[in-house]
A and B are shown apart, each in its own frame.
Chain A
Amino acid sequence: MVQSLDTLIETPSQTAGPYVHIGCIPSFAGLPGVYPEDLGLSPIAPGAKGQTITITGAVIDGTGWALRDAMIESWQPDAAGRFAGQDGADPAVSGFCRFAADKDSGLFTLTTVKPGPVPHRSGAMQAPHISLWVVARGINIGLSTRIYFEDEDNGNDPLLSRIEQRPRVETLIAKKTGEGQYRFDIRLQGDNETVFLDI
């Protein structure tokens, strides 16, 4: 026998299920009035500094079908790379957003400001990115990934540089479709499966 550690183990995850919207975005789920408004409707308020961008995409399963019941959360810094609560952070950027796949098309949309680069513990800078967390029925533990941008310099990003199979880097990079417009699909499985993170 040895001494016992005085640490705990994280509570195990369970799937968010098909009705996650009831708990997290009830107005979207058709339960208006429980709360004044759904949490995380937008990561920005009027006056947020930086370039406003819109990212559109879908969460696609291994058969090629776009999920209609996925919910996504995003977390990002402001245009200068500061997170809400940090000194000097843009007060108009909460940085947090909740959005869901459309129940008919499966498409999601995130309108925000383009984030700035964020320092890494090593001293290197991380290329601008938005962190995502994807939950849905059939996903037993929420999936973490990141959106990078094809019109930014991603060459020295510490995370992207760790991806051995270089073609897979492209799964984390939003493609520009117009001025301030990007496309970012999340593929759970199959060809071009998105790189998911254990971070």
Chain B
Amino acid sequence: MKDMTDNGESDQGPLIPRQRHMHPVPYDPEYKTSVPRSPKWPLLSMESTPSEETGPRFGHSLLGPLDNNLILNFSKDGSPAIGERILMHGRVLDENARPVPHTLVEIWQANAGGRYRHVKDNYLAPLDPNFGGCGRTITDAEGRYQFLTIRPGAYPWPNRANDWRPMHIHISVFGHSFGQRLITQMYFEGDPLIDRCPIAATIKERSQLDRLVAPLDMARARPLDFLAYKFDIVLRGRRQTMFENRLEGM
């Protein structure tokens, strides 16, 4: 079978099994929608197969010039979106600490007032005519990505009587295998709503939740223009393959 990776390594081994306890719990009564939507029975655990080890690839030809600029990519007349201008940047790595190059990263978010451009979002905050709220890019050869956007606002949501989402940006990453597929959220350093959010609290391992909080990165901020936040993402890795051709029992 042809090697499906393009990072110069021979990734023929199975995917490293997920450490499920490092992820959010599926069922959490404090996040009410998870109650009817979480499977009750255990997952069926099995070593990955080619169906999980392969995955879709997307080339740079997919991208338009403003796809990673949410300040301008929905503007009708070139006027920038309203809000605090920020650069969101980081690297996509795998569990073997290797960069994941040429992989699609998609983001979506509320506007500066905390409102999504969505038919089901009827929050009081106004829509910004120049802000759509989605962007995408492809990592470079070292796994780096960046977006120019505005800092999303916090907003209330129907869960417990007075729940508010902390400021956050949703992120979707593909990797090179369908079994690496991941959607997560980036939070912002210093936001007091993180510790009050039942969605953030579905992650029970505090050190893992901390990994979703992006630090202010003044080294990448541009004077008189934008602040920067750094957010690195780690996808599942694949087992190193030295003994992969041996049958069980070696």
Residues of A at the B interface (CB closer than 8 Å) are: 6-24, 26, 29-31, 34-36, 39-40, 61-63, 65, 67, 73, 75-77, 83-87, 94-96, 118-121, 126, 129, 131, 133, 135-144, 146, 158-159, 162-163, 188-190, 193-199
Contact = CB atoms under 8 A, between A and B. Distances in A.
Grouping DSSP codes into helix (H, G, I), strand (E, B) and loop, the B interface class, with mixed when no group exceeds half, is loop
B234 A199 contact: no
B48 to A, nearest CB: 6
Contacts of A62: 35-37, 40
B64 interface: yes
Interface string B157-199: 0000000000000101000001101111100000000000001
20 contacts: A9-B95, A12-B24, A12-B203, A18-B120, A26-B134, A34-B134, A62-B36, A85-B2, A96-B56, A120-B50, A139-B26, A139-B34, A140-B28, A144-B179, A146-B51, A163-B44, A188-B37, A188-B39, A194-B39, A199-B49
Given A10-B236, A126-B51, A140-B24, A17 B39 contact: no
Q: Which of A22, A62, A159, A189 has the largest count of B CB atoms less than 10 A from its CB?
A: A22
Interface in B13-33: 14-15, 17-20, 22-26, 28, 31, 33
Contacts of A137: 33, 37
A193 to B, nearest CB: 6
Given A121-B47, A193-B41, A23 B23 contact: no
Contact of A86 (B37, B44, B54): B54
B113 interface: no
Contacts of B106: 23-24
Given A7-B95, A141-B26, A193 B40 contact: yes
A196 B39 contact: yes
A31 B132 contact: yes
Given A11-B235, A13-B184, A188-B36, A199 B116 contact: no
Contacts of A29: 118
Given A17-B170, A23-B172, A12 B134 contact: no
Given A10-B182, A13-B184, A16-B170, A129 B23 contact: no
A23 B134 contact: yes
